């Protein structure tokens, strides 16, 4: 089913920054597809919010680290919407705070599979659909990194930070590769944001612990990052590609 409304895919859209981006995108007139891995109830709640805003919604279970599931994700978007205009590579995982010498191999593999390889797999699928080289109408890819890619997250998540560093280098290279094909590729770097991810790292109150180190003196809200993402997706950012936008409160 085709529609005149633009279509945005947000990976990891069931919670946190992804869910906030889905809701704001719907308010701005996008039809919204989200992927999720485990929490179907949360994903369906976000989809219901999108529909309540008068837009179409699609929630699809898909592990971004699995190329077959990524291909199926995009096939379902083709079937429902017949187009994709914006990809937000938001899905990410973190593990318990740890020093480097204590990080297990399976953890390293999973962190890089989801945070670095997954976005590349999604970008491949989106690029083939968006690129004017393949008859597409252009589009936007936005990768969600982390200020940890700059800071390194010592004693906490060096593996996570390193995976986000890989995502940032991919942003730079892919942006240059497809710039003449109607595709803009940018990256948002959230800082300390109030989301459930900190609980996954073993410290639900982490933002409150570190907020005094943030120049603005507070943590950020998911909606504040969503606004940055959707600005980069918009025509207002028409000459912006290969760019990194920090949403960190100055840290």
**Model confidence over 144-196: pLDDT tens digits?**
999 999 999 999 999 999 999 999 999 999 999 999 999 999 999 999 999 98
DSSP string computed for 42-86: HHHHHHHHHHHTT--EEEEE--TT-HHHHHHHHHHHHHHHS---E
pLDDT mean over 27-34: 98
pLDDT in tens, 192-226: 999 988 888 889 999 999 999 999 999 999 999 99
The H or E element containing residue 126 is: helix 118-130
Alpha carbon distance 56, 123 (integer Å): 23
Catalytic residue among 30, 134, 160, 194: 160
CATH 3.40.50.720 holds for 7-246: yes
The domains of the chain are located at 7-246
Alpha carbon distance 65, 45 (integer Å): 24
- Decide if 95 contacts 159 (C-beta within 8 A): yes
- Decide if 112 contacts 164 (C-beta within 8 A): no
Of the candidates 143, 145, 205, 103, the one whose C-alpha atom is nearest the C-alpha of residue 9 is: 143
Residue 3: the pLDDT is 64
- Decide if 20 contacts 223 (C-beta within 8 A): yes
Residue 180 buriedness (CB in 10 A; 0-12 / 13-18 / 19+): exposed
Its sign, for the CA torsion 143, 144, 146, 147, is positive
Whether pLDDT at 2 is above 60: no
Residue 119 buriedness (CB in 10 A; 0-12 / 13-18 / 19+): buried
**Cα angle 145, 235, 49; round to 5:** 65
Of the candidates 16, 125, 19, the one whose C-alpha atom is nearest the C-alpha of residue 73 is: 125
Cβ count within 10 A of residue 9: 28
Known catalytic residue at 160:
yes
Residue 1: the pLDDT is 41
Residue 243: the pLDDT is 98
């Amino acid at each position: 089913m085709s529609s005149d409304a633009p279509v945005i895919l947000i990976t990891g859209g069931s919670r946190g920054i992804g869910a906030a981006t889905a809701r704001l995108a719907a308010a701005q007139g996008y039809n919204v597809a989200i992927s999720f891995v485990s929490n179907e109830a949360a994903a369906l709640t976000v989809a219901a919010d999108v529909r309540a805003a008068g837009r179409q919604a699609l929630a699809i279970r898909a592990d971004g680290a699995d190329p077959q599931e990524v291909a199926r994700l995009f096939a379902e978007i083709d079937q429902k919407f017949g187009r994709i205009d914006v990809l937000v590579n938001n899905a990410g995982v973190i593990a318990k705070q740890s020093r480097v010498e204590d990080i297990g191999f399976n953890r390293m593999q999973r962190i890089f599979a989801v945070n670095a390889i997954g976005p590349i797999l999604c970008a491949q699928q989106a690029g083939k659909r968006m690129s004017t080289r393949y008859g597409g109408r252009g589009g936007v890819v936005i990768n969600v990194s982390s200020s940890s890619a700059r800071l390194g997250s010592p004693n906490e998540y060096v593996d996570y930070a390193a995976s986000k560093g890989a995502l940032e280098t991919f942003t730079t290279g892919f942006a240059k590769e497809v710039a003449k094909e109607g595709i803009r590729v940018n990256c948002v770097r959230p800082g300390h944001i109030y989301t459930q991810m900190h609980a996954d790292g073993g410290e639900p109150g982490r933002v409150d612990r570190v907020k005094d180190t943030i120049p603005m003196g507070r943590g950020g809200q998911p909606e504040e990052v969503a606004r940055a993402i959707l600005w980069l997706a918009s025509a207002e950012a028409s000459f912006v590609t290969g760019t990194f936008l920090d949403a960190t409160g100055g840290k």
